[in-house]
Structure 1
Amino acid sequence: MNIQCELDFFTKDTRKEKSYIDFHSHNGYELVYYASGHGRTTIGDKVYPYQAGQFSVIEPNCPHDEYRESATEVHFLVFSYNNYPIALRNHVYTEPGDAPIKQLMHKLGEEMLRKNSFSPILLRCYLTELIVEIGKISGEKLQHAEPEDQLLYAKSYIEQYAADKINLPKLAETHGYSYDYFRHLFKENTGYSPMQYIMLHRFKKAKQLLAESRESITTIALECGFSNTPQFCAMFKKQFGVSPLQYKGKISNKNS
């Protein structure tokens, strides 16, 4: 049973007394370890006090803030994870006396500074250990999914990270399938191949941004996972019969 995860970024910071970070969110999971200080954080609609030796887990796209009553040293990271087989949920946890979270955060920080050819492998290993330790601390039971549930996790992962470069053979391997069999099951279940499903959600996001934002076509293309503007424009026109600019113009005219 493999854990599919990837570190997006990791950093440390000391935040001043009586300082505040307003509500914001991330595309991936966030883990914040409070090495010192105390204050409170609102995750979603719930307020949690925090103190040194605790850590918060924040689900993707969940609004959260942070107010420090005293100067607070934080170690935090954002990572992608398909939430299987250990479910991670919004909460502030107290780690046990042997401080496994603190130790793993320290190892992550050390490896980020080294940056050698082995670092990506070690960082993924440390992140996997973190997820396991969080599962043990939270008391979550391992999930044992049926094939339909496995595909649900895969679909959710693709929907969440469609704009990123998804390693589909690796995703299949994570769920215990060869890529050919995974592709067969996925198409049988959804009507789309995995790559078609990725493109479906890239186009869905692109149409939303074209309709609602003032960003340039180039910016929208990159935000939605396309390699460049010409590729985006050609694929969009082939899919919808109009260029992105023409689509944007039609939507603007309808709303005016």
Structure 2
Amino acid sequence: MIQHQTSNSCGNYNYNAFLYSDISYSAHFHKNYELIYVLKGTVELSVNGKPDVLKPGEMILISPYAVHSFAVDGKSKIWVGVFSEDFVLSFSKANSQISYSKFKCGLKQEAFLKEHLFFQGQPELYLAKSCLYLVCSECLKHAVAFDMKSSDEFRNRVIAFISENLSDEITLGSTAAALGYEYHYFSALFHRCFNMHFKEFINMFRFEFACEMLLHTKADIAFLAVECGFQSIRNFNRIFKKFSGHTPTEYRKQLQSED
């Protein structure tokens, strides 16, 4: 199953950076950009079904909604930064066709990034912007565009549409129409790309969005049900319990007990 990381899909100037070793993430996507830089060892990764390996000093910039996964063994170490598009808005608006870019900076650029960006924590806003625009400049020299003849573009359009309309009623038919596809062709293409039923995919999105809202807001359950696109509190409880084993109320109490 492809996971939607909602924590990396919301908020203005959302930025998180971590140092990882001996870790793996299965196929997932989010609205934010993701930058991976290899400090030592190697990283096996896949972006939109295309496998690759990163070596020391190499980095990859992964665009919003691209499905990706990676694995790092105990002998390797990487820096991973995930940031919303408002950090690099001019680049984002002009280069929405880019799927990902794998590259290696010059020595001076790499030294600058090591000093001001490649650490666990958040740099000052304008310094972060300058570093990330430097990355974007290098990215453009090696960027790989979405393959319009493959499932890349379809997958990203579907994910973007669902993410932006989650609180509305979304059906397979309405999504196909909004994206300009014939119903049966869209259905077949969706199953081939995501390997799951459309309704299950929507419910997964809504569940993950609800988890984020339960964690970060004090909104009541009735409001959350509507905001996440569920038809009723009863339906909200049923689907939430299916994915988590708990009702939304039980889940929130569990979160509060862990604080």
Query: After alignment, is 59-68 or 75-84 more displaced?
Result: 59-68
Residue 47 of structure 2 corresponds to residue 40 of structure 1: no
Count of residues paired in the alignment: 180
C-alpha deviations, 1:28-87, integer Å up to 9, x for none? 22111112223532223222122112112223351312254x822211101122632134
Task: State which of 51, 55, 69 in structure 2 corresponds to 1:51.
Answer: 55
CA distance in 2, matches of 1:105, 1:204: 46
The reply to whether residue 21 of structure 1 matches residue 24 of structure 2 is yes
Does the 8 Å CA contact 2:37/2:79 hold for their aligned counterparts?
A: yes
Answer whether contact 1:33 1:76 (CA < 8 A) is retained: yes
| Structure 1 partner of 2:131 | 126
2:251 corresponds in structure 1 to none
Q: Which entry has the higher C-alpha Rg, 1 or 2?
A: 1
Residues 216 and 42 (structure 1 numbering): CA distance in 2 closer, same or farther, change over 3 Å?
closer
> Residue 89 of structure 1: SS of its match in structure 2?
strand
Q: Percent identity?
A: 12
1:99-145 C-alpha deviation (Å, 9 max, x unpaired): 525522531246946x7xxx23332333233223322x32689xxxx
Q: Is 1:229 aligned to residue 220 of structure 2? A: yes
Aligned counterparts of 2:62 and 2:42: Cα–Cα separation in 1? 18
Paired residues of 1:43 and 1:91 also in contact (CA < 8 A):
no
* 1:172 alignment partner in structure 2: none
TM-score normalised per structure 1: 0.50
Sort the Cα spacing of 1:216 and 1:110 in 2 relative to 1 into closer, same or farther, 3 A: closer
The answer to which of 103-112 and 42-51 deviates more is: 103-112
- Runs of 4+ off more than 3 Å: 109-113, 155-162, 208-213, 215-221, 223-227, 233-236, 246-250
Query: Quick one: which amino acid aligns to residue 11 of structure 1?
Result: F
Alignment match, 1:90? 100
| Cα separation, 1, equivalents of 2:54 and 2:26 | 17
CA deviation string 1:206-234 (max 9, x = no partner): xx689846x98994581799861267169
Distance in 1 separating the partners of 2:60 and 2:208: 37
Q: 1:234 to 1:121 in 2, by over 3 A?
A: same
Match of 2:250 in 1: none
User: Which residue is 1:11 aligned to?
Assistant: 18
Q: Deviations over 1:226-255 (max 9, x none)?
A: 86126716956xx99x643267679x9xxx
- Which residue does the alignment assign to 1:62? 67
| CA–CA separation in structure 2 for the residues paired with 1:112 and 1:220 | 24
Please list, as runs of the form range in 1=range in 2, the aligned pairs for 1:70-219 lying within 5 A after superposition.
71-81=75-85, 83-87=92-96, 88-95=98-105, 97-101=106-110, 103-109=112-118, 112=121, 119-135=124-140, 137-138=141-142, 159=161, 162=164, 200-204=165-169, 212=203, 219=210
Alpha carbons of structure 1 residues 231 and 107: separation in structure 2 relative to 1, 3 Å? farther
Q: Secondary structure at the match of 2:139?
A: helix
SS at match of 2:116: helix
**Superposition RMSD in Å:** 4.7
Distance 1:203 1:224 in 2: 22
Distance in 1, matches of 2:38 and 2:14, equals 19
Unaligned runs of at least 5 residues, structure 2: 1-11, 146-156, 171-198, 242-259
Which of 225, 233, 237 matches 1:244?
A: 233
SS in structure 1 opposite 2:93?
Answer: coil
Distance 1:245 1:47, change over 3 A: same
Query: Following the alignment from structure 2 to structure 1, what is the Cα–Cα distance between the partners of residues 93 and 27?
Result: 25
| 2-structure distance, mates of 1:139, 1:91 | 4
